[in-house]
Amino acid sequence: MDPGIAEAVERQNRAMRELSRRAFPESDVVPDDAPARIEQVRAQRRRQDAATEAVALRRARKERAAREAGTAAAVPQPAALRTTA
C-alpha cells in the first residue's frame, strides 16, 4: 500500500471521528456503577410513595384515636361533595 494513501485515509478517518463527536456529543456518559436514569426516577417515586403512605397512616391513626376517645371534634369532617352535571 502506498504510504501517501495510508496517511490520507488516516487523516480522513480522524476528520470523520471529530465530525461525529461534534455532531453527537457524549455529554450524558454515565459511569458503569451509576444507576440508569429510569432507576433514579423509580427510586424517587418509591420514596415519594412511602412518604405519602406514612402521612396517610399517621392521619388514620390520629382519626382512629380521636374516635375511640370520643372527641369527634378533633376529627376533621370531609368536605361536602358537589355535583356538576
With b for 16 or more beta-carbon neighbours within 10 A and e for fewer, the 32-64 pattern comes to eeeeeeeeeeeeeeeeeeeeeeeeeeeeeeeee
Residue-level pLDDT at 10:
95
Render each residue's pLDDT in the chain as its tens digit; 85 residues. 789 999 999 999 999 999 998 888 776 655 666 667 888 889 999 999 999 999 999 999 999 999 999 875 555 566 666 777 6
What pLDDT does residue 46 have? 95
At residue 37, the pLDDT reads: 80
